[in-house]
């Protein structure tokens, strides 16, 4: 039974442990009630050589199973993180896009806002899920976004570079585009959880996925098939009410549901990142640096 919480990082250790497996803190010491001696805000401290609870060794079946399990168990947490950001965006789209589908400027702004929302949500969601996996406790939405906001600049640059490289690969040919996409599929969790420059993040994603890209592709294909039916149902609802402004609230709800479902991609990237073997890059990679 996990019931010895570290006073330094909050990780739930086995009752017999004297040293925290997450941060190395002494579990036999008890903090005083002095506010200045209370633990700092929790930070992800995953050991790359030790699997977290709920994460199994990398494989197509384990990735799919763990992703669906984590997503469904934390659906309410994911929903709250998504709703805060995408609700204003989906209201804007519902009220403006049906009448301005030929307006390039409005469509461009809608796309950019959608991309910005994804970049805002990703670090908050990764932080929240890491805290659940490491401590068994669910963080608040405000806490998740407060931590994630510090990762936005680097993540935004990584997302932009990844998008450009993938687009270039698809422009050259379909196969190079798929290879680039798979090579950079772990950029988000690496950028959020580790230190290093943009170039180092891209390089680590390539190194971690090397030798496993066919399996990653298989996992994405299976997940895509699983998501087809709910996506089609949501698209039908959105399309049914796209021409009428009086029913825009239902269209907004359906669009938000689509955004929530889309977070399966972020969850799956995190699951692959935590479960993929590190011997592909020499027996291990850098311990998470959160500065």
List of the chain residues with pLDDT < 50: 1-2, 30-39, 280-291
| Token code pair at residue 243 | 């021409």
Rounded distance, CA 253 to CA 90, Å?
8
pLDDT of residue 128: 95
Q: Which tokens is 97 given?
A: 């896009």
Residue 36's pLDDT is 43
3 state SS of 13:
strand
- The CA distance from 162 to 157, in Å, is 8
For residues 198 and 216, what is the distance between their CA atoms, to the nearest angstrom? 22
What H or E segment, with its residue span, contains residue 14?
strand 12-14
- How many CB atoms neighbour CB 131 within 10 A? 22
pLDDT of residue 31: 46
Element (H, E) at 153: helix 152-172
Domain boundaries, the chain: 1-40, 45-281
- Measured distance CA(104)–CA(43) in Å, rounded: 42
* 19 phi and psi angles, rounded to 5 deg: -120, 130
pLDDT of 225-281, one tens digit each? 998 888 787 777 666 665 555 566 777 787 888 889 999 999 999 999 999 987 544
The CA R_g of the chain, rounded to the nearest whole Å, is 20
Size of the chain, expressed as the number of residues it contains: 291
Which is nearest to 263 in space by CA: 92, 68, 93? Answer: 68
- In order of 7, 89, 113, 284, the CA distances from 188 in angstroms are 29, 22, 18, 19
Residue 103's pLDDT is 60
């Amino acid at each position: 039974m996990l019931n010895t919480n570290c006073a330094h990082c909050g990780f739930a250790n086995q009752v017999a442990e004297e040293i925290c497996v997450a941060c190395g803190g002494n579990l036999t010491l008890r903090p005083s009630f002095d506010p200045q001696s209370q633990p700092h805000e929790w930070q992800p401290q995953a050991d790359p050589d030790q699997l977290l609870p709920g994460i199994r060794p990398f494989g197509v079946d384990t990735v799919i199973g763990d992703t669906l399990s984590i997503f469904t168990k934390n659906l309410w947490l994911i929903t709250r993180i998504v709703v805060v950001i995408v609700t204003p965006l989906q209201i804007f789209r519902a009220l403006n896009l049906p009448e301005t589908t030929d307006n390039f400027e409005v469509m461009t702004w809608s796309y950019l806002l959608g991309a910005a929302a994804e970049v805002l949500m990703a670090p908050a969601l990764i932080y929240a899920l890491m805290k659940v996996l490491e401590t068994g406790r669910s963080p608040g939405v405000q806490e998740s976004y407060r931590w994630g906001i510090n990762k936005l600049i680097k993540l935004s640059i990584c997302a932009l570079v990844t998008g450009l490289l993938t687009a270039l690969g698809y422009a050259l040919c379909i196969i190079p585009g798929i290879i680039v996409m798979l090579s950079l599929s772990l950029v988000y969790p690496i950028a959020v959880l580790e230190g290093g420059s943009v170039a180092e993040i891209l390089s680590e994603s390539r190194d971690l996925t090397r030798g496993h890209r066919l399996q990653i592709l298989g996992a994405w294909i299976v997940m895509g098939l699983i998501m087809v039916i709910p996506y089609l149902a949501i698209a039908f609802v959105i399309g049914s009410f796209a021409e009428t402004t009086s029913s825009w609230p239902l269209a907004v709800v359906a669009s938000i549901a689509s955004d929530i479902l889309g977070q399966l991609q972020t969850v799956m990237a995190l699951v692959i990142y935590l479960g993929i073997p590190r011997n592909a890059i020499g027996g291990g990679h850098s311990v998470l640096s959160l500065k």
